[in-house]
Amino acid sequence: MNIQDIYDSRLKEQHDLFAKHINPQLVKVLRTIGFDKTYVKAEGQYLYDNDGHQYLDFLSGYGVFSMGRNHPKLKKALHEAIDMDTASMVQMDAPLLAGVLAEKLLEKLNQSIDAGASTRSYASTKLDTVFFTNSGTEANEGAIKFARCATGRDKILYLEHAFHGLTTGSLALNGNDEFKNGFGELLPGCTSVPQGDLAVLEYELAKKDTAAFIFEAIQGKGVYYAPADYLKAAQELCRKYGTLMIADEVQTGLGRTGKWFAFEHFGISPDIVTIAKALSGGFVPVGAICYHRNIYNKVYSKMDRCVVHSNTFGRNTLAMMAGITTLQVLEEEGLIANAALRGQQIVDGLNSMKDKYEMLSDVRGKGLIIAIEFNRPKSLKLKIGWDLIHKVNSGLFGQMVVVPLLSKHRILTQVTGHNCDIVKLLPPLCINDKDVEHFLTAFDAVLSDCHRFPGGAWEVGYQLAKHALSA
């Protein structure tokens, strides 16, 4: 039986099989909020279920599908790579495509460093070395190791609300305790600092025991970012006290924010940049640690340390081809400029609704990473509904928005993080005017329902609350 036959014959078992053998709690959540759809096809920014309904994907696999799903140029490139019968993963070799992708990545990174820098003095800090990984969290784990080895220090500073991955080293840098609970002692020497507070940052750096300060220029959880001058000042402090700066661009890199990399918005020059998600094109996992040769020279300090940090799959032919083609498509199709344009259209459209909807408190983002935050209303009736929902679970109101966006308007979105009233948008960079209009019209309708108490939206909230209480 071929794969198509397996797919067709067992499609109806999809969620039952997943619950039985993989993650029953996830399936329970999907069924509770009505996200247990059976998607059978995807193209660009659209998903299609087994009934032929089209959905607008404003989640894009947590940012993986920046250029859309099943891009024809990427499919063609991967087919060509398979047909080449290359000698992939020989391990004791230096594969050509890894060198090509590294060259192209570094070119884009250094363009961003130059574009964001206020003076050309940043030229001396350009990045020139790449280590390929299989994921974002692996890239961040490697960056931690490199920083500690290069500086001879152990401590890592990270920002509140941070998310750098869920393996134990990256998890130690997580600003959300719900991910840490139950896993025991994590990597020691990791300390959080509040974003925007230079005094606290300098207090920690002045101890001269910090290997690296890791940050997301625009944080994925909640889409928070500091004032424009914070990261510039932080960079000066890090250089003053001998601490490396690690920019986590796993979600924000490769055009998501309307520039190639998010750090460009803030005019800084990181010592290490981690990349993943969109680099894969959605087919073959690939990530990268991009860093300075002087860091490399301290980690790989002699010939018998040439594989002191390594992995098995990181430089495989398909991953490298996916990365090369992704960079090409992003540039040739103008997707980064499109991200800036469409993001501004969405933000402007959402901001225009603030006067109409009292629970809509904040809209923030750059390019196509956008957060929509809600807060407690002032009117008595709505306040009663808000308080009832939040007594059960402080994250349920966000679900009252994303559930009808999917069930009534066929738009896939997410609540960002646990116990928060924030809906996050992460669309593919290829969305168009029609998609933006569809989303804004749908969101307006959903918020209108949420501002009528009692009403259908609150019934959704009560049903979700019942499930939460019985879980």
Q: Which residues lie across from 435 on neighbouring strands?
A: none
Span 97-112, average pLDDT: 96
Residue 147 has pLDDT above 50, yes or no: yes
Fold type of domain 80-332: Aspartate Aminotransferase; domain 2 (3.40.640)
Residue 461 has pLDDT above 80, yes or no: no
Residue 122 has pLDDT above 60, yes or no: no
Span 119-145, average pLDDT: 83
- What is the spatial distance between Cα 387 and Cα 355, in angstroms, rounded to a whole number? 22
Work out whether the CA dihedral 288, 289, 292, 294 comes out positive or negative.
negative
| 84: confidence class by pLDDT, cuts 50, 70, 90 | very high
CATH superfamily placement of domain 37-67+335-470: Aspartate Aminotransferase, domain 1 (3.90.1150.10)
> What confidence score (pLDDT) does residue 419 get?
67
Residue 395 has pLDDT above 70, yes or no: yes
Q: What is the pLDDT of residues 284-313, one digit of tens each?
A: 999 999 999 999 999 999 999 999 999 999
> What confidence score (pLDDT) does residue 362 get?
96
Indicate the average pLDDT of the chain: 93
> What confidence score (pLDDT) does residue 388 get?
86
Residue 138 has pLDDT above 60, yes or no: yes
* 359 in Cβ contact with 450 (< 8 Å): yes
Q: What is the pLDDT of residues 50-69, one digit of tens each?
A: 999 999 999 999 999 999 99
Which has the minimum average pLDDT: 226-230, 263-267, 323-327? 226-230
> What confidence score (pLDDT) does residue 469 get?
60
- What is the spatial distance between Cα 356 and Cα 283, in angstroms, rounded to a whole number? 42
Domain residue extents for the chain: 37-67+335-470, 80-332
Span 322-327, average pLDDT: 98
Which has the minimum average pLDDT: 15-19, 89-93, 100-104, 391-395? 391-395
> What confidence score (pLDDT) does residue 120 get?
36
| Vertex 87: Cα angle to 85 and 89 (nearest 5) | 130
Q: What is the pLDDT of residues 406-434, one digit of tens each?
A: 999 999 999 987 768 999 999 999 999 99
DSSP labels for 188-236? SSEEEE-TT-HHHHHHHHTTS-EEEEEE-SS-TTT-----HHHHHHHHH
> What confidence score (pLDDT) does residue 121 get?
38
